[in-house]
């Protein structure tokens, strides 16, 4: 009896040893599969709410060229859309002075999901940035160029016949896109500024409104594509189409600053008529207007050349993060494995060097971030960041934004005191 008990004990010890060896081996393999760590830290604090905003502009980097300052906004409340007279404070976070908040300007053209379309000026990225503003009395929206060294607005882009705000700045600093944010707010509130002036409201597809392109140096604007042009293109595809107003959303410059990808939309929310959500592309000279048949998700991102990163949906298998060629209008590749990106249609962003990709997605009350290194397939997923229970027009999307050195991502979240704050995900490599 004693001998059998000893033998049984030995067998159990052997099994436990094997299990321990297997566990350590799997841990080692997991470590090899994740050659970098993701460390989250809270950037801003206090009783006010702080955030950066939209991901709708490709290559939007919150940091200035030296990395010292991070752009942001400070607001009093996030539980509703702002009234026209309610301003937001434009802030700089000084990362070299204990993340001190510097309050430098204010704007009346913003919303809590989109922000004010911040963008550091590529021609002077250390000291100058763009943001949108509006005249409270007239409701006219315009774009501001601010210089932090001179501590003043060095230019305002105002036009009598088209009250447009910045919809994305070219990576080479040559131009920015202009949109009628009053029209956007009227046709889909979350995409614009509540009660901003909409000069084309009486027409469902006006000839004098659409997507503009503004020369940053000269200030000259031109209409790149009109709503009337888009309507004609849409009706070539569907002659029976009916709508109560077209609007343009997600105007994305490519990395070479020679092409725009955007969405022509109508029928959102409770608006009458057909719902259109058509991806389009056009060259900056106004040629090559194309309506794409393949829809790769609502939040695509430009990769190199003519490639976009988006989603391919599957009925019987997991959706994929894919590469789509705008020229051939075909899917030409994938990123990672489906298991890496539970929601490929989440908010995505590609690092300035094109090697690091992040997918931000929602799960219950938290936002998570999947980070993928294209050079070797390295992958890691962040812990969840509380996004609160806000939804609809005041939702807190994941909205990841890379820094200029490709090793940190700015994201939003809810702090312990229930205020909305800015967080940084640091990418810490463990490669030998």
**Alpha-carbon gap, residue 316 to 313, rounded angstroms:** 9
Q: Provide the residue ranges of all domains of the chain, joining segments of one domain with +.
A: 36-429
What average pLDDT does this structure show over 162-190?
97
What average pLDDT does this structure show over 188-213?
96
**Alpha-carbon gap, residue 247 to 280, rounded angstroms:** 13
Q: pLDDT per residue over 12-64, tens digit each?
A: 444 444 444 443 343 343 344 568 999 999 999 999 999 999 887 778 999 99
**Alpha-carbon gap, residue 18 to 22, rounded angstroms:** 6
SS3 state of residue 186: helix
H or E, element range at 426: strand 420-429
What is the CATH class of 36-429?
mainly beta
Q: pLDDT per residue over 399-416, tens digit each?
A: 999 999 999 999 999 999
What average pLDDT does this structure show over 359-376?
96
Phi, psi of 59 (to 5 degrees): 60, 30
Q: pLDDT per residue over 102-151, tens digit each?
A: 999 999 999 998 999 999 999 999 999 999 999 999 999 999 999 999 99
For residue 274, what pLDDT band results from cuts at 50, 70 and 90?
A: confident
**Mean pLDDT, rounded, of the chain:** 91
Q: pLDDT per residue over 231-263, tens digit each?
A: 999 999 999 999 999 999 999 999 999 999 999
Question: What pLDDT is recorded for position 251?
Answer: 96
How far is the CA of 418 from the CAs of 44, 81, 92, 365, 421, in angstroms?
A: 13, 18, 22, 13, 9
**Alpha-carbon gap, residue 308 to 322, rounded angstroms:** 8
């Amino acid at each position: 009896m004693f001998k059998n008990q000893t033998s049984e004990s030995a067998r159990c010890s052997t099994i436990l040893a094997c299990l321990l060896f297997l566990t350590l081996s799997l841990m080692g393999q997991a470590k090899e599969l994740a050659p970098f760590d993701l460390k989250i830290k809270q950037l801003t604090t206090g009783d006010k709410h702080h955030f950066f905003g939209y991901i709708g502009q490709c290559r939007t980097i919150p940091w200035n060229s030296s990395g010292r300052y991070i752009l942001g906004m400070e607001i009093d409340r996030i539980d509703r859309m702002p009234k026209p007279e309610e301003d937001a404070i434009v802030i700089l976070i000084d990362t070299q002075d204990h993340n001190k908040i510097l309050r430098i300007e204010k704007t009346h053209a913003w919303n809590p999901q989109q922000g004010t379309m911040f963008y550091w000026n590529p021609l002077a990225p250390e000291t100058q940035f763009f943001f949108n503003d509006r005249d409270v009395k007239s409701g006219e929206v315009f774009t501001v160029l601010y210089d932090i060294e001179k501590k003043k607005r060095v230019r305002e882009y105002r036009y009598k016949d088209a009250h447009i705000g910045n919809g994305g700045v070219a990576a080479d600093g040559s131009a920015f896109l202009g949109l009628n944010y009053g029209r956007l707010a009227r046709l889909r509130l979350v995409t614009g500024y509540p009660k901003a002036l909409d000069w084309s409201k009486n027409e469902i597809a006006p000839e004098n409104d659409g997507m503009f392109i503004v020369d940053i140096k000269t200030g000259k604007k031109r209409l790149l594509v009109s709503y009337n042009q888009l309507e004609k293109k849409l009706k070539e595809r569907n002659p029976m189409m009916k709508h109560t107003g077209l609007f343009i959303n997600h105007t994305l410059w490519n990395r070479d600053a020679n092409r725009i990808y955007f969405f022509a939309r109508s029928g959102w929310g409770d608006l009458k008529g057909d719902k259109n959500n058509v991806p389009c592309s056009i060259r900056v000279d106004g040629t090559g207007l194309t309506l794409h048949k393949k829809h790769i998700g609502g939040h695509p991102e430009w990769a190199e050349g003519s490639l976009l990163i988006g989603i391919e949906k599957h009925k019987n298998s997991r959706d994929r993060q894919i590469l789509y060629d705008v020229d051939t209008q075909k899917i030409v590749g994938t990123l990672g494995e489906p298991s890496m990106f539970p929601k490929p249609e989440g908010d995505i962003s590609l690092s300035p060097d094109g090697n690091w990709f992040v997918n931000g997605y929602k799960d219950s009350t938290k936002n998570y971030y999947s980070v993928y290194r294209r050079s070797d397939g390295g992958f890691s997923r962040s812990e969840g960041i509380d996004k609160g229970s806000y939804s609809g027009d005041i939702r807190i999307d994941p909205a990841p934004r890379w820094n200029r050195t490709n090793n940190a991502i700015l994201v939003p979240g809810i702090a312990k005191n229930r205020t909305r704050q800015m967080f940084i995900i640091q990418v810490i490599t463990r490669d030998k």
